[in-house]
């Protein structure tokens, strides 16, 4: 039995996954601060506490995400692009395209039947259409980002929201609020805006089923519904969708450990 | 896997030193140029008419090259900001803004003072912003402006009517030079200058061709950019004609001793696009950490596609200059650019293509997104598209660029088109 850990230090949250015998046996998620090394250590410690396992039992730790180089206690690092590909393939083996929308990044990743990256496209120097975008716009509506997912249900006339700039979008939302627009219509417009921006990235790599949706924004059911409507079929969304990068990192570490012993 | 790299990239020691001296001497010389004794012609690199103006005794300044020298020495931003304060927008080409800002600030650079022009030759008309740039300079300095209208290259070979059109313009240009300098056109002198150019071009081609070897003894993008200076700025001089013999002698030494640009060649790349000069070393290091070497690149060909069979011909002076101007890389229609890149991948046994797009240049960059899609989807060649700027440091985000490059190289290993080679094999 080999226990491995994947630690994903993203722009907004730190995630850790413990993997054993092909199963996720523990996980943790917490916001990141300015001390990323400590955030990474804390993420691993919390996941271990949840499972009642000891640090010395973990054979390999692999870091991923923008803060992967801060997982200083790990043995390997891998970009989140490779990890989301690997993790998505693990959860949904027929995945051919991954859409990952995190705190400040949107990634479209084309994968082969082994979960290896064939091509990818990312948003460029702008966080419009990412988790941060929703965060800011939810604030303009007086909500917390964690509660807005279901609130677009019942929208009848979704508004148009720019998808090129988070700051402009926030002003637009404030303007719609001032004009008395139904918050459901504003949220539906926001979700449409997020999906529309993501689709242009997905089209760069080529859309084909199955599409697996990962990252924090995949927890928002309104965005998932808008994506599925535009795709014309349901995307794969796992209950572990925020942990896919960490799962991929753990799998990568496991493969390395196994290769080293054979 | 990514690995630590030596602090400094290895250059061809003598050639790099010689090139450094040539750059210094050139800019020192410029400080004393200008006026009737040694008039200065400003010219664009693409399709330039260096040989003709040299035959009339002009010194040549390429503001694009001054701009990239400013950027690589991290002094481009004040010039750009000054141009923006004068009303030039964020989207305007930052070569243009560097130059116009520099001109307004008095032309002082860390490598010498750039003299104002006595003559402006807009040798590449494919970019409308460049045309406006030259018009702005003409307005500022009140000196003669010659616009060379170069039709886009649409076929493999230049069309007869295009050549005729260009030769007729070259004759007009010569008439203008005779009038402004008071000198008669000296055909023998032009032929002598062209012969010098040809010698440099032949040596440059030999250097570029060595990228076909495995491992590659040259770094055809980052390192080659340094050896571009003589072929672009000093073409037609004796110094440029002899320079490449030294370069190639050192390349041969690299092959014999097995001291290659990267200690272990893991990835062979073809690179398209102008480099991000303000972050040149950082960008290069991202390659070196992955054992990646560029074996061929399009950017070092902006001053001439000499490696595709064209060389200046002293026996056909004006026709040959017309062919050169038409065939400049920047003047090639997209199907020809695509074909060239496809051939580089094949002929230089490359694993992948890296495209670096320029935020402030739509002329050279437009079409690179389609190029990426075509390489990936139609040809199955792994390709990474990155975007920053050639001059403006505000557009280079190191963490984002590194992340994309790391992800690309991670994914490239299992898809490598050619197996890696160990050192010492050819």
ipTM of the complex: 0.86
CATH superfamily of A94-237: ATPase, nucleotide binding domain (3.30.420.40)
- What per-residue confidence (pLDDT) applies to A223? 95
Lowest mean pLDDT among B4-18, B129-143, B369-383: B4-18
Q: What 8-state DSSP symbol labels residue B303?
A: T
Average pLDDT over residues A152-168: 85
Give CB contacts under 8 A, 24+ apart, made by A121-125: A121/A201, A121/A204, A121/A205, A122/A81, A122/A201, A122/B400, A122/B404, A123/A197, A123/A201, A124/B387, A124/B400, A125/B395, A125/B397, A125/B400
- pTM, whole model, 2 decimals? 0.91
The pLDDT tens digits of the residues spanning A26-36 come to 999 999 999 99
* Owning domain of residue B80: 22-183
Cα A212 from Cα A207, distance rounded (Å): 11
pLDDT at A165 > cutoff 90: no
Q: Is A82 within 8 Å of chain B by CB?
A: yes
Q: Is B32 within 8 Å of chain A by CB?
A: no
Q: How many domains does chain B have?
A: 1
Mean pLDDT score across all residues of chain A: 92
The pLDDT tens digits of the residues spanning B158-173 come to 999 999 999 999 999 9
pLDDT interval class at B421 (50, 70, 90): low
Q: State the Cα torsion A213-A170-A127-A193 to the nearest 10°.
A: 40
pLDDT at A53 > cutoff 90: yes
Domain contains B90:
yes
The pLDDT tens digits of the residues spanning B258-308 come to 999 998 899 999 999 999 999 999 999 999 999 999 999 999 999 899 999
Domain contains B360:
no
What percent of chain B has a predicted confidence (pLDDT) above 90? 83
Cα A24 from Cα B160, distance rounded (Å): 70
The pLDDT tens digits of the residues spanning B25-56 come to 999 999 888 777 789 999 999 889 999 999 99
Nearest CB partner across the interface for B407, out of A120, A124, A206: A120
Q: Is A126 within 8 Å of chain B by CB?
A: no
Give the residue from B374, B411, B412, B417 with the most A CB atoms within 10 Å of its CB, the best one to mutate: B411
Q: Which residues of B touch A119 (CB under 8 A)?
A: 376, 382
- The yes or no reply on domain A1-92+240-262 and CATH 2.70.170.10 is no
Average pLDDT over residues A243-249: 97
What percent of chain A has a predicted confidence (pLDDT) above 70? 98
Average pLDDT over residues A9-17: 93
Cα B22 from Cα B39, distance rounded (Å): 20
Q: In this complex, do A120 and B403 lie within 8 Å of one another by their Cβ atoms? A: no
Q: Is A144 within 8 Å of chain B by CB?
A: no
Domain contains B216:
no
Nearest CB partner across the interface for B403, out of A79, A116, A204: A79
**Number of cross-chain residue pairs from A and B with Cβ atoms under 8 Å apart:** 38
Q: In this complex, do B410 and A120 lie within 8 Å of one another by their Cβ atoms? A: no
Nearest CB partner across the interface for A66, out of B387, B399, B408: B399
- What per-residue confidence (pLDDT) applies to B413? 84
Q: Which residues of A touch B400 (CB under 8 A)?
A: 122, 124-125
Q: Boundaries of CATH 3.30.420.40 in chain A?
A: 1-92+240-262, 94-237
- What per-residue confidence (pLDDT) applies to B188? 97
Q: In this complex, do B407 and A117 lie within 8 Å of one another by their Cβ atoms? A: yes
Q: Is A204 within 8 Å of chain B by CB?
A: yes
Domain contains B392:
no
Q: Residue B57 is part of a domain; what is its CATH number? A: 3.40.50.11890
Domain contains B192:
no
Give me the helix-helix angle, A166-178 and A183-205, nearest 10°.
160
Q: Phi-psi bin for B47: left (phi > 0), alpha (psi -120 to 50), beta? A: left
Give the CA distances from residue B347 to residues A201, B200, B227, B351, in Å, rounded to whole numbers and listed in that order. Answer: 32, 23, 22, 11
Cα B382 from Cα B376, distance rounded (Å): 6
Q: Is A119 within 8 Å of chain B by CB?
A: yes
């Amino acid at each position: 039995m080999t226990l491995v850990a994947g630690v994903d230090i993203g722009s907004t949250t730190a995630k850790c996954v413990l993997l054993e015998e092909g199963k996720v046996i523990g996980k943790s998620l917490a916001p990141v601060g300015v001390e990323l090394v400590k955030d990474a250590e804390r993420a691993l410690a919390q996941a271990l506490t949840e499972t009642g396992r000891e640090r010395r039992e973990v054979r390999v730790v692999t870091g991923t995400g923008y803060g992967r180089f801060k997982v200083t206690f790990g043995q390997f690092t891998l970009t989140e692009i490779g990890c989301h590909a690997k993790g998505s393939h693990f959860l949904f083996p027929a995945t051919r395209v991954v859409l990952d929308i995190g705190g400040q990044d949107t990634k479209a990743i084309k994968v082969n039947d082994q979960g290896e990256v064939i091509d990818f496209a990312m948003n460029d120097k702008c966080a419009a259409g990412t988790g941060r975008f929703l965060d800011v716009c939810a604030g303009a509506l007086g909500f917390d980002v964690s509660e807005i997912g279901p609130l677009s249900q019942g929208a009848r006339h979704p508004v148009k929201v720019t998808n090129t700039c988070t700051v402009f979008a926030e002003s637009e939302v404030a303007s719609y609020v001032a004009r008395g627009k139904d918050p459901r219509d504003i949220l539906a417009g926001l979700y449409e805006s997020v999906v529309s921006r993501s689709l242009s990235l997905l089209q760069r790599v080529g859309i084909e089923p199955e599409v697996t949706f990962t990252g924090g924004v995949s927890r928002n059911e309104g965005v998932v519904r808008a994506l599925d409507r535009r795709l014309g079929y349901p995307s794969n969304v796992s209950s572990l969708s925020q942990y896919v990068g960490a799962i991929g990192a753990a799998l990568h570490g496991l493969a390395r450990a196994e290769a080293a012993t054979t | 896997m990514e690995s630590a790299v030596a602090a400094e990239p290895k250059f061809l020691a003598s050639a790099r030193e010689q090139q450094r001296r040539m750059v210094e001497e050139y800019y020192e010389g410029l400080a004393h140029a200008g006026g009737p004794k040694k008039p200065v012609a400003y010219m664009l690199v693409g399709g330039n008419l260096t040989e003709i103006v040299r035959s009339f005794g002009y010194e040549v300044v390429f503001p694009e090259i001054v701009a990239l020298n400013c950027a690589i020495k991290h002094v481009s931003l004040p010039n750009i900001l000054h141009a923006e304060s004068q009303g030039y927008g964020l989207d305007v080409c930052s070569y243009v803004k560097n130059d116009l800002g520099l001109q307004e600030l008095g032309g002082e650079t860390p490598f010498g003072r750039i003299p104002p022009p006595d003559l402006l030759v807009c040798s590449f008309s494919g970019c409308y912003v460049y045309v406006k740039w030259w018009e702005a300079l003409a307005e500022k300095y009140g000196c003669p402006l010659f616009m060379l209208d170069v039709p886009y290259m649409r076929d493999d070979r230049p069309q007869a009517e295009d050549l005729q059109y260009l030769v007729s313009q070259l004759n007009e240009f010569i008439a203008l030079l005779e009038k402004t300098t008071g000198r008669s056109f000296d055909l023998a002198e032009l032929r002598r200058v062209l012969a010098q150019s040809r010698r440099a071009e032949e040596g440059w081609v030999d250097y570029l061709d060595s990228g076909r070897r495995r491992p590659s003894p040259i770094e055809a993008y980052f390192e080659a950019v340094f050896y571009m200076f003589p072929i672009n700025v000093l073409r037609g001089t004796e110094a440029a004609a002899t320079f490449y013999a030294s370069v190639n002698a050192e390349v041969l030494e690299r092959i014999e001793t097995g001291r290659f640009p990267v200690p272990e060649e893991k990835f062979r790349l073809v690179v398209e696009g102008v480099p991000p000069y303000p972050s040149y070393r950082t960008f290069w290091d991202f390659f070196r950490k992955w054992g990646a070497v560029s074996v061929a690149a399009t950017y070092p060909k902006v001053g001439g596609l000499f490696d595709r069979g064209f060389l200046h011909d002293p026996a056909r002076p004006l026709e040959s200059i017309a062919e050169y101007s038409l065939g400049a890389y920047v003047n090639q229609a997209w199907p020809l650019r695509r074909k060239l890149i496809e051939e580089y991948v094949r002929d230089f046994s490359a694993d992948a293509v890296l495209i670096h797009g320029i935020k402030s240049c739509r002329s050279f960059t437009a079409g690179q997104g389609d190029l990426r899609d075509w390489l990936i989807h139609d040809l199955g060649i792994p390709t990474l598209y990155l975007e920053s700027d050639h001059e403006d440091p505000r557009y280079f985000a190191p963490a984002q660029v590194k992340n994309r490059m790391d992800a690309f190289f991670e994914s490239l290993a299992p898809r490598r088109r050619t197996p890696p080679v160990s050192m010492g094999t050819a």
